[in-house]
């Protein structure tokens, strides 16, 4: 294959973009349009469906805006947690929390910069707090990057590696 452009940002320092629309690194092939976020949202069980939908959409729109994921890359699980099972301090790192506290876990492929991650946290928090009664203080976000061989999107195959 003929090389078009050497990429040094999102995928890694040894990445090459080919005319066929794929990035190749030394270990595996990464398909350009696949960004693979998987989101778990843990929130109080008292939140109604409309509120959960606003939170879900806020997270997804933020991922599209900051991580440039495609619109149809929308994989989320919302976990309703009883108040007795949602455990947190009243205040942590000088940030007070209320019973509306929620945890958002984002699992994604590697390659985002620290600045992109900080921007994502800010945009998610802003969108949720502007669209709902949930305060920014009550939105805890954890992002886990996992290598591409750890993903299967069905059929028992690791579609992200060759």
Give SS3 for 68: coil
- Centre a 10 Å sphere on the Cβ of residue 41 and count the other Cβ atoms it contains: 19
Contact criterion met (CB below 8 Å) for 7 and 17: yes
Catalytic residue among 37, 70, 89, 96: 37
**How sure is the predictor about 152, in pLDDT bands with cuts at 50, 70 and 90?**
confident
| Phi-psi group of 62: left, alpha or beta (phi > 0 → left; psi -120 to 50 → alpha; rest → beta) | alpha
Q: What are 42-99's pLDDT values in tens digits?
A: 999 999 999 999 999 999 999 999 999 999 999 999 999 999 999 999 999 999 999 9
Distance CA 161, CA 159 (A): 6
Q: What is the pLDDT of residue 49?
A: 97
Q: What is the pLDDT of residue 10?
A: 37
**How sure is the predictor about 8, in pLDDT bands with cuts at 50, 70 and 90?**
very low
Q: Mention the CATH class of domain 35-147.
A: alpha beta
Between 86 and 162, residue with greater pLDDT:
86
Distance CA 94, CA 116 (A): 24
Could you state, in order of their start, the residue ranges of all structural domains in the chain?
A: 35-147
Q: What is the pLDDT of residue 21?
A: 39
Distance CA 56, CA 43 (A): 11
99 labelled catalytic: no
Distance CA 124, CA 131 (A): 11
**How sure is the predictor about 150, in pLDDT bands with cuts at 50, 70 and 90?**
confident
């Amino acid at each position: 294959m003929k090389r078009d452009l050497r990429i040094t940002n999102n995928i890694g320092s040894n990445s090459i973009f080919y005319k066929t629309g794929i990035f190749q690194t030394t270990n595996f092939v990464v398909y350009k349009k696949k960004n693979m976020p998987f989101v778990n949202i843990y929130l109080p069980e008292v939140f109604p469906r409309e509120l959960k939908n606003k939170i879900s959409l806020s997270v997804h729109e933020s991922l599209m805006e900051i991580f440039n994921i495609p619109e149809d890359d929308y994989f989320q699980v919302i976990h309703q947690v009883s108040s007795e099972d949602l455990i947190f301090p009243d205040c942590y790192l000088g940030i007070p929390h209320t019973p509306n506290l929620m945890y958002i876990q984002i699992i994604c492929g590697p390659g985002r910069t620290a600045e992109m991650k900080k921007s994502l946290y800010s945009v998610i928090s802003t969108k949720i707090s502007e669209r709902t009664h949930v305060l920014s203080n009550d939105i805890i976000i954890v992002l886990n990057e996992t290598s591409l061989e750890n993903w299967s999107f069905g059929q028992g195959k690791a579609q992200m590696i060759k």
